[in-house]
Amino acid sequence: MDTYKPLHCDLHDYLEIACLCGYTLDIELTDGQCLTARAITTRTACTGEEFLEVETVDVRQEIRLDRLLAITPLNSNARFGRVVLAVGGQESRSYDG
């Protein structure tokens, strides 16, 4: 597997909010794949790699954070809009409300 590239610290807040609120997310991955899943939690492996645990209708899975391209909450009361996640602190954010 590729060398892990940590997500910029301020972007973790969006993932934590999504997990705490149980948001359903449209998730875009860096390889072009997309999925819709509910955010469960984040975790850090002993190797230092960080993961977002999500749940779809039939399975729970973990996504390494540097594989996330963007997340968009689908909940009508979400605290943020689409967030583009990029290594090195280059990100764009869309706030709702």
Residue 16 has φ and ψ, to the nearest 5°, of -65, -40
Q: What share of the chain is helix, strand, coil (3-state, %, to 5)?
A: 15, 40, 45
In a structure prediction context, what are the per-residue pLDDT tens digits for the chain, which is 97 residues long? 589 988 888 899 999 999 999 999 999 999 999 999 999 999 999 999 999 999 999 899 999 999 999 999 999 999 999 999 965 334 444 444 4
Domain boundaries, the chain: 70-97
What is the pLDDT at residue 8?
85
**Helical (H) or strand (E) element with 9:** helix 9-21
Alpha-carbon gap, residue 54 to 37, rounded angstroms: 6
Q: pLDDT tens digits, residue range 9-21? A: 889 999 999 999 9
* pLDDT for position 78: 96
